[in-house]
Structure 1
Amino acid sequence: MLSKLKFPLIISVLIGINSAAFANEDSGKGFYERSAEGWFWHEPLPEQIEEIEEEIAPPQSVEPSDDATVKAEPKSTLEPMTVAWFRENLPKAKIMAINSRSPDDVKRYLYMQRAAVDVSTEFMTQYIATSMFDPYLNESLRRPETGIALTTHRVAQDKNMWELFKRLGKNNSLIYFYSSSCAYCATQTPYLSRVTEEFGWDVLPVSIDGGPVPNDQFQYFENYKVATPEMAQTFNVVATPTLYLVDKSSNDFYLLSSGLAALTEIVERSIQIAKRENLLTQEEYNEQAQVKEMLMTNPEQRVDTEQVYDDPNYLIDLMRKTLTGNDGAPHNEK
């Protein structure tokens, strides 16, 4: 009976000893190795990490398709060798050639590129021929292109420019704001003397500082005026010399130059102001322009887009009429 009671007790002791041994192994260090930790030592328990079970979605069953084969991408409906076709296929062929670098893919891209060049060449040939033999599109009528014609054109236009400037002097004049101590004004004065002597313009000199016109060797500008504060404010003179063009009929004035201006600049700017302010006609302006303005459109023109494509001569007739003022030339060309 005693032996039966002792056996469970022995088993319990053995279990307790094994548990302490395992605990000592888990700690890793003994009492002295742990620097004599006392009864007051509290070892924080490691936080328990909750194990999150990932929910694995069950594989979805794929129902067999009625079609036995995979449907291929729809083929392009673009007409080959058109701009849209090249825009779609050239980049695709180039990327394929770069990625594979195989002789076949590179050759395919190069030949496709050559086809695009051929189409462009045909267009350019027709472009040149059409513009060359259509007087409304011939750019040489606006400005000659060949050497001898261009030289002749320049000489004639320069002559017309000086003549037009002289005619403008009949209805317009200049106001010359200057300072007697201004070095730039001393250079400006001889140019204005020529404007007065050679082209007949009236020039009114106005002194900012009250002194006479500098470098007035021929005394063209002895009768100068002294600027009043009101005049300086009205004309907003910020530098000398300053020139204003005045329309004699309306007394309107327009800034021509602020700072030194050579004779050619005075002439060209005067003509540009006259054109802008409708002081001369378009024909008068074209007589001296190095590049003639032959405008075939105007902002008030209304164009029917559908009719442009329905009738190939609709836009042609409309633009020719704008240029010539009549119905234009008949369309007998093929």
Structure 2
Amino acid sequence: MQMNFSQRLCLSGSIFLFTVGLVCTPVSVLALDEGKDAAFYQKHKEGWFWYKDPDPEQEQPDVISTNPEAAPIENRYRNSSLTEVDIDALWTMYPDDFQELLNHVQNLAVQDPSESNVLRYLVMQDVARRKALAYTNASMYVTQKYGDLFNVNQVYPAAKPGVTARVQMEQHEIGETIASGRSSHALIYFTSPTCGFCEKQNGVLNYFVEKYGWTIKPVDINRQSAIAARFGIETTPTLLLIKKGMEEYMTVAVGVVTLTELERKLYRAIRYLGGETRDDSFLLYDFQKGSALDPTSILKKKGGQSP
């Protein structure tokens, strides 16, 4: 009987402890939850729909620019005595200094249009005019004295008889160059059946062949698209110049051109492929070499352009 009582007592004690544990546990959990809820509600609401005012920007102190260009430059003659500047000083004054002084004198004349101020400004204007005239005279003198350096009239005259002679020399040189290049050059003529401009160009090319006896190879860009793609041709009519033994080629004309224009362009292309001209002398004729129209001829002269 005692054993049974002990067992019952133990069972009763276990039940009591378990019951106390169940009662205490929710209290502890509730206390923790209350602490979390208090911290949550004290926290600022965050998320997409909650707007938070940005932190106020701190006022920046005004920065004073140290760039000298920001501040207007005062005319250095503003507070100077103009009576000390005589004609001789004005005549030999550096142009930038003269312009600065002239601006100041003009401003004074506009601010106070008295007789003395206006007279001073007109005198300076007269000095400037005379100085420009002196430079023009000196420039004409030097140009005439050293005409071989600066004058293009010897190869590009302006007088009518000289113009006639120049045109004849150009035409003769063009004709000789095209005729001599007939055996070593050929023209590729890109065309198409639907090209209306090609019909007009055909007549010009027929006359060109009769005059010079050149070989012109027609290429239909529709039927011979591979050749057109090789040279990157998309427009008709187009004329290309090729040379024997040379992979390099050059476009002569795109679109309809007259016979005179074709001759001139072909002449320049022949000379360029032959190495007689470069990019910077592409328009140069043979009779103009070494003249003022030859850009690099000055580099070949001893001492440059110094007389």
State the TM bucket, normalised to the shorter chain.
0.5 to 0.7
List aligned pairs for 1:1-334, cutoff 5 A: 80-81=90-91, 82=93, 83-134=95-146, 135-209=148-222, 226-227=223-224, 229-281=225-277, 285-287=284-286, 293-296=293-296, 319=298, 322-324=299-301
Flag the structure with higher helix content: 2
How many residues align structurally?
A: 219
Paired residues of 1:172 and 1:245 also in contact (CA < 8 A):
yes
CA 1:91–1:123: 2 relative to 1, 3 Å = same
Listed one character per residue, the Cα deviations across residues 205-264 of structure 1 (whole Å, up to 9, x for unaligned) are 11234xxxxxxxxxxxxxxxx51x321211222221111111223032222222212222
**TM-score, length-scaled by structure 2:** 0.61
Paired residues of 2:189 and 2:239 also in contact (CA < 8 A):
yes
Listed one character per residue, the Cα deviations across residues 144-184 of structure 1 (whole Å, up to 9, x for unaligned) are 13232223222322232222232333332110011234221
CA 1:119–1:183: 2 relative to 1, 3 Å = same
Q: Distance in 2 between matches of 1:190 and 1:288?
A: 32
CA 1:164–1:116: 2 relative to 1, 3 Å = same
Q: CA deviation at 1:330?
A: 10
Q: Distance in 1 between matches of 2:129 and 2:199?
A: 61
Unaligned runs of 5+ in 1: 1-71, 210-225, 298-318
CA 1:276–1:99: 2 relative to 1, 3 Å = farther
Q: Distance in 1 between matches of 2:283 and 2:125?
A: 50
Q: Distance in 1 between matches of 2:152 and 2:292?
A: 10
Aligned AA (2:267): I
CA 1:268–1:248: 2 relative to 1, 3 Å = same
Q: CA deviation at 1:292?
A: 6.7
Q: Distance in 2 between matches of 1:330 and 1:106?
A: 43
Q: CA deviation at 1:124?
A: 0.8
Aligned AA (2:166): H
Percent identity over paired residues: 21
Q: CA deviation at 1:136?
A: 1.6
Paired residues of 1:97 and 1:105 also in contact (CA < 8 A):
yes
Unaligned runs of 5+ in 2: 1-77
CA 1:107–1:154: 2 relative to 1, 3 Å = farther
Determine helix, strand or coil for the equivalent of 1:136: helix
Determine helix, strand or coil for the equivalent of 2:263: helix
CA 1:133–1:193: 2 relative to 1, 3 Å = same
Paired residues of 1:173 and 1:245 also in contact (CA < 8 A):
yes
Give 1:56's aligned residue: none
CA 1:296–1:128: 2 relative to 1, 3 Å = farther
Determine helix, strand or coil for the equivalent of 2:285: helix
Give 1:304's aligned residue: none
Aligned AA (1:295): P
Aligned AA (2:209): T
Listed one character per residue, the Cα deviations across residues 260-297 of structure 1 (whole Å, up to 9, x for unaligned) are 12222222222333444454357994237799732256
Paired residues of 1:143 and 1:150 also in contact (CA < 8 A):
yes
Aligned AA (1:172): H
Listed one character per residue, the Cα deviations across residues 277-318 of structure 1 (whole Å, up to 9, x for unaligned) are 454357994237799732256xxxxxxxxxxxxxxxxxxxxx
CA 1:91–1:141: 2 relative to 1, 3 Å = same
CA 1:103–1:167: 2 relative to 1, 3 Å = farther
CA RMSD of aligned residues (A): 3.4
Determine helix, strand or coil for the equivalent of 2:90: coil
Determine helix, strand or coil for the equivalent of 2:252: strand
Paired residues of 1:164 and 1:288 also in contact (CA < 8 A):
no
